[in-house]
């Protein structure tokens, strides 16, 4: 490709967002019966419930031989922050994507699950609870916690002790 052609291609792509695609590493096999398999998947950051209706978000999963979805497979899909989930059945699939039918779409956690003291707050991201600074959103404790209470305890113990 010439430099001019590359520049034209790049200019044409300016303003276009990168399409949302599910990472095959975020799809986990749960069980296999005689009729269908069960999967769990976490969507990438920025994906919404509406994106589940776009078959092409599953393209990378479908080209993965070990994780491609088949008709009648069950899949529980979680938002990246696990604020909602959807129970789905694969209606149709091919190498370009998977078409899902939804049996349940629901909020996963209560809005009160996030704790804050005005300076620090807890957030659930990617399967773990983390402690972030409220002012700029920076993660202040690098390790993730299994429960919200563990994250709150770590946040409170991070403050200097009184003498």
- Contacts with 32 (C-beta within 8 Å, 6 or more apart), sequence order: 38
Structure tokens at 26: 């975020």
Please tell me the pTM assigned to this model.
0.63
Closest CA to 26 of 58, 55, 48, 50: 58
Place of tokens 């080209």: 63
Domains, the chain, ordered by start: 3-107 (2.40.240.20), 111-157 (no CATH)
pLDDT at res. 18: 72
Give per-residue pLDDT as tens, 12-47.
454 456 788 999 988 989 888 888 999 999 999 888
Split the chain (163 residues) into runs of 10 and give each run's mean pLDDT.
Answer: 53 60 89 90 89 93 92 92 88 94 79 78 81 90 86 89 75
DSSP-derived letter for residue 140 is E
């Amino acid at each position: 490709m010439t430099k001019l052609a590359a520049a034209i291609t790049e200019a044409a792509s300016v303003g276009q967002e990168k399409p949302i695609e599910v990472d095959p590493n975020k799809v986990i096999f749960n069980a296999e019966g005689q009729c269908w398999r069960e999967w769990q998947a976490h969507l990438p950051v920025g994906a919404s419930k509406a994106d589940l209706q776009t078959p092409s978000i599953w393209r990378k999963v479908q080209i993965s031989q070990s994780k491609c979805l088949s008709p009648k497979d069950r899949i529980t899909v979680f938002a990246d922050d696990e604020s909602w989930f959807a129970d789905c059945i694969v209606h149709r699939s091919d190498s370009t994507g998977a078409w899902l039918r939804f049996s349940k779409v629901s909020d996963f956690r209560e809005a009160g699950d996030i704790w804050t003291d005005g300076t620090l707050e807890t957030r659930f991201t990617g399967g773990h609870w983390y402690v972030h600074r409220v002012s700029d959103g920076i993660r202040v404790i690098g390790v993730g916690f299994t429960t919200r209470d563990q994250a709150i305890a770590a946040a409170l113990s991070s403050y200097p002790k009184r003498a």
